[in-house]
Structure 1
Amino acid sequence: MRIALCTLFEGHYHHGVATLVNSLVAAGYQGTVWAGHRGPLPAWLARHARFDRRAGRLQVTPQVVLQTLALDPPRSLNYQKPAFMRELLQVHDPAAEAVVYLDPDLVVKCAWAEIEAWFAGGEVALVEDLDSALPSDHPRREGWRHFFAAHGEVPQRALARYYNSGFVGVPRAHDALLATWQRLCERIAEDHGGALRQRKLGAPDHPFHSTDEDALNFALMLDGAPLCTQGPEAMDFVPGGRHLSHAVGAAKPWQGRHFRGALRGRPPSVASQSFYRFTRGPLASLSPLTLVRRRLSMALATALGRVYRQR
């Protein structure tokens, strides 16, 4: 299956892109990784011997290409996910049979063929969030219904699970879901305002605190596309996962300070440990000396976490 696989990044998230691509290479993925970015490209990419600056293209391995696309939307790149996925299908890779979005703070741990099987049958592939239970009559869903009813959006089905937007796989046959998701993101951004680069809205009980994620979950209520869903373990949000690892939260594994966090009772997460599994590969965003220090910090922090953690 031909897939348009993509991610979005800005600022220090370029470190995650390098490790994500390394994990895809290790997983056996073959094809292009489309990377939309805001701001200048990082030095490790722009100065790479095989980087074609004019085309914005890096031949990572004989089988994998990293293709960059400069973006400058007015708001957080979170809102840009469905628009970018649609642009790939319509403009940049019209031969693709499906489009897959992966957050840059995520790595693939299993064979890519296992991930591809989630949407190869024509279903939209999703992974449940950490707090995945969201009953159909939950006040948060009622808040979505109330807000969007004024804009003529009427749900077609009831759902009881909440899905993370860090991984979304959509076959071309269901690209209407992307159009719906994009429309909802634009409506939230227009009506709720906030700082232009703001990633979250209001307090955690705000109906659209998670912006693009909430928009995705309401879009799924509006659209009847069949779903292939995985539990939160598929992103290492709970134990037992082996597919993906998603380093959610403000502190990212490439920023270090692992031992300092462990001293405060917060040992490294499974996702942080998984990140360092793939820092060695065809792409290197961190210097060898920095990696040695970070790996040592990670090892000490992990050991400390076995005996001490915050209650």
Structure 2
Amino acid sequence: MKIMTTLAERDYFLGLAALLNSMARHGTYVDKVIVGYREALPDWLPPLASSRHGQSFTTSGGVEVELVELNGSLHMVHEKPKWFLHVTEVLAPEATEYFFFDSDIVINTRMDFFGEWVQEGVAICGDVNFVFNRRHPIRQKWARIAREGGRTITNELDDYYNSGFLGWTQETKSFIQDWNDAFALLAPHSGNMNEFRVYDRTAVVLSTNQDSLNLAMMTTDQPLSLMGPEAMGFIYGLRLMHHPIGPKPWTRNFTREFFNGKPPRDSDLIFWENVNGSELQPVPDSKVRKMQRLCKTLRFGGRYYKSLG
């Protein structure tokens, strides 16, 4: 069995719709989707039935989507390592392959590629702030914390990786425990983990979940299969996904931001092209068409606007 999992709350369910629709457009590949959620479920979901661990519905493509209430009070991003351990050990321990996508990601390539990728090792993508040398003072502090905690540095890395996507298998699942161990080591340095970030990059921890992912990569004995920031659409190249940085596409006032010199991004247009699809339709079609036209018009205008500047 192949599992895709994600986390969602509040308006991020709109992102979930685009994620599931984009997955279906590119071949689905997985057998089941497990969504960890908090707070109320949106009323536009299909009718739900009771499931073993929560509630579920089946997509038109025949994939079960199980919605499991998340226990935890940290900022949602910091719940990731614990959630992945729960998925691997409790919710789907029999699975052969696991894939996590942040619920604001839209998939942009064939889904079976992710299955090919994860056979090479734990699949991880570079962050927008990609360069992070092994001699960087913060990375050296992480290494010292790890050694003091009884861990061995097994990998010398010069780059920084994003926690918005992860792929692992039954054979490499011990990496998830490595991540939880690294999270525990950095947690005392993290400040208030009800916040996305507390400190800046001069501190030992900028964002606990992502820094601990990078520390886990330094201490694991599992094989890693790494791609750069192009995989998430942060730079040009092999864009496997579109992962918007900063304001999410469903929150932006495109016209106002256009006149502030910020035309719609690729990820904004891609979101509005996928938010309604074969699996979920959370937004009236008339609004979707309006937003698509607006994004295309302002992107065209942005080329002219910027060329004058």
- For the criterion TM > 0.5, the same-fold answer is yes
* Match status 1:261 vs 2:257: yes
Letter in 1 for 2:249: P
Give the equivalent residue in structure 2 for 1:33.
33
Q: 1:174 aligns with which of 172, 175, 184?
A: 172
Aligned to 1:174, the other structure's residue is in SS state coil
Within 1, Cα distance between the matches of 2:151 and 2:93?
29
Corresponding residue for residue 302 of structure 1: 299
**1:215-230 equivalence runs, <5 A:** 215-230=212-227
TM-score (norm 1): 0.91
| Superposition map of 1:1-311 within 5 A | 2-29=1-28, 30-45=30-45, 48=46, 50-52=47-49, 55-121=54-120, 123-194=121-192, 196-249=193-246, 251-281=247-277, 282-309=279-306
Where 1:241 maps in the other structure, the secondary structure is coil
Aligned with 1:254: secondary structure?
coil
SS of the residue 2:207 aligns to: coil
Amino acid of the structure 2 residue aligned with 1:33: V
Question: C-alpha offsets along residues 53-76 of structure 1, whole Å, 9 cap, x if unaligned?
Answer: 565101112432211000130211
- Alpha-carbon distance in 1 for matches of 2:289, 2:50: 30
Superposed displacement of residue 191, structure 1: 4.5
Indicate conservation of the 8 Å contact 1:201/1:211, yes or no: no
When structure 1 is superposed on structure 2, of 210-219 and 87-96 the one drifting more is 87-96
* Structure 1 contact 155–221 (Cα < 8 Å) conserved: yes
Deviation at 1:210, TM superposition (A): 2.1
Structure-2 separation of matches of 1:64 and 1:109: 19
Q: Give distance in 2, aligned partners of 1:155 and 1:113.
A: 32
Tell whether the 8 Å contact from 2:22 to 2:107 is kept in structure 1 after alignment.
yes
Alpha carbons 2:163, 2:209 under 8 Å: kept = yes
* TM-superposed deviation, 1:94: 2.0
Q: Measure, in 2, the Cα distance between the counterparts of 1:309 and 1:204.
A: 31
In 2, the alpha carbon distance for the partners of 1:187 and 1:231 equals 26
Other structure's SS at 1:74 match:
coil
Which residue identity lines up with residue 16 of structure 2 in the other structure? V
The count of residues paired between Structure 1 and Structure 2 equals 304
Partner of 2:117, secondary structure, is coil
Q: Tell me the amino acid that sits aligned with residue 141 of structure 1.
A: R
State the Cα deviation string for residues 103-142 of structure 1 (Å, max 9, x = none): 0010111110112111124x11111111212111112202
Deviation of residue 156 (structure 1)? 1.9
Question: Structure 1 residues 289, 206: CA separation in 2 closer, same or farther (over 3 Å shift)?
Answer: farther
Structure 1: which 5+ residue stretches go unaligned?
none
Mapped contact 2:18–2:271 kept (Cα < 8 A) = yes
SS in structure 1 of the partner of residue 8 of structure 2: strand
Normalised to the residue count of structure 2, the TM-score between the two structures is 0.91
Residue aligned with 2:172, SS: helix
Q: CA contact under 8 A between 2:273 and 2:292: conserved in structure 1?
A: no
For residues 194 and 91 of structure 2, the distance between their equivalents in structure 1, rounded to whole angstroms, comes to 26
Contact 1:180/1:219 (<8 A) preserved: yes
Q: 1:101 to 1:80 in 2, by over 3 A?
A: same
User: Is the CA contact 1:4–1:89 (under 8 Å) kept in the aligned structure 2?
Assistant: no
Structure 1, 151-160 or 7-16: larger mean CA deviation = 151-160
Shift of 1:275: 1.2
CA distance in 2, matches of 1:241, 1:261: 28
What SS does structure 1 have at the residue aligned with 2:304?
A: coil
Change (3 A) 1:157 1:242: closer
Q: How far apart are the structure 1 equivalents of 2:188 and 2:135?
A: 26
Q: Is the 8 A contact 1:8 1:104 kept in 2?
A: yes
